[in-house]
Amino acid sequence: MSYQLIELDISPSDNIQCPHCQQQVIDWVEEQYVQPCEHVLFIAMDIGFEYITDEFEQTMQHTVDDLHANDDQYHMFSEIAASSYSEFKIYKSDLGVEGYSRYVGFIA
Ligand SMILES: [Zn+2]
């Protein structure tokens, strides 16, 4: 388990760009604003996942279905941090609601 946490100094309405291919993986111009590229492992908020690859989900201690069914017991960041995935980056950004954050995981 090895991740690097990068806190983005952006506002909740700003896009988030992939550091590898520069695709806007959170793109507010699109009706479906979650636009993962091949470098994205997951896109999550404290309250749940918006996107996750099968590969990353297999490295977590619980399935996303399990986490969502028990979202009062689990904190998504803790579950992400407990992943056994070898190396990845987490881009953390403010959601603009009561200290909630969004977490975008990229391959390192
Ligand atoms: Zn990319």
pLDDT reading at 108 higher than 70: yes
Residue length of the chain: 108
pLDDT for position 54: 98
Dump pLDDT digits (tens) for 51-69. 999 999 999 999 999 999 9
Q: How confident is the model at residue 96 (pLDDT cuts 50, 70, 90)?
A: confident
CA of 23 to the centre of ligand 1 (A): 6
Contact criterion met (CB below 8 Å) for 11 and 95: no
Contact criterion met (CB below 8 Å) for 103 and 4: no
CA of 20 to the centre of ligand 1 (A): 5
pLDDT for position 99: 82
pLDDT for position 1: 56
CB atoms within 5 A of ion ligand 1 belong to 18, 20-21, 23, 37, 39
Dump pLDDT digits (tens) for 30-40. 999 999 999 99
